[in-house]
Structure 1
Amino acid sequence: MQQKIIALGALFLSACTSAGTPPAEPGPDACGASGYQSLVGTPLAAAALPADLDARIIRPGMAVTMDFRADRLNIEVNEAGEIVRVYCG
């Protein structure tokens, strides 16, 4: 009886472990920011951004969440409306 309980416990414990390898961490350019670096220094109004681009525009003094999302493109602009930084997060 005790052997059956031990075997059953081992079965339950093995079900709690994940099979295979863990998912890969996203790379440092998961949002594609490297493709938009040429926009740094240009006015946001003149930037040719795709209509379906999911980006967060960060203006001076704007409150932003501190959660990190590797797939989120952030475009930071200065007081003059010029793009000063493009990065993932």
Structure 2
Amino acid sequence: MTRWFWGGLPLIALLTACSGAPRPATAPEPPPLQASAPATCGADALRGHIGERLDESLREALQGTSGAQRVRIIRPGQGYTMDYRPERLNVHLDAQQRIDRLSCG
């Protein structure tokens, strides 16, 4: 009996390792997207500033003109959060510190 136990132990361990929870036939559905909130940062009214070099006075003017509660400056290669805040103005800069794009969020 001892020989059977030691001889069968690797087989039992192998079969136990191979068994697992059954996999679902299809991947679960992602949660539905929420309706996007209307853009309230005023980015559309600022399109004429694209291409201008950003400095502190222009940043303040953009915030004042747009009515945005916050202004976030995003430089090339810079990481930033993907949380969406419709009242925040995002100012995307190029390598020369010129405004490349304006968006809410």
Give the equivalent residue in structure 2 for 1:15. none
Across the two proteins, how many residue pairs are aligned to each other?
Answer: 64
TM-score, L = length of structure 1: 0.61
Match in the other structure for 2:101? 85
RMSD: 2.4
**Residue aligning to 1:35:** 45
- Of structures 1 and 2, the one with the larger relative CO (CA 8 A, separation 6+) is 1
Unpaired segments ≥5 residues, structure 1 = 1-24
Distance 1:52 1:76, change over 3 A: closer
Larger helix fraction of residues: 2
Aligned-partner SS, 1:34: helix
User: Identity over the aligned pairs, expressed in percent?
Assistant: 36
Once residues 52 and 38 of structure 1 are traced to their aligned partners in structure 2, the CA distance between those partners, rounded to angstroms, is 11
Q: Does the 8 A contact of 1:39 with 1:47 survive in 2? A: no
The residue identity in structure 2 corresponding to 1:80 is Q
Does 1:58 find its partner at 2:74?
A: yes
**Aligned residue type for 1:84:** D
How far apart are residue 46 of structure 1 and its match?
8.2
- Runs of 4+ with >3 A deviation: none
Deviations 1:18-72, CA, capped at 9 Å, x for gaps: xxxxxxx742x31111121111011113863336932000001111001111111
**1:15-26 equivalent positions in 2, closer than 5 A:** 26=37
**Greater Rg by CA:** 2
Equivalent position of 1:67 in the other structure: 83
* Residue segments in structure 2 that go unaligned for 5+ positions in a row: 1-35, 64-69
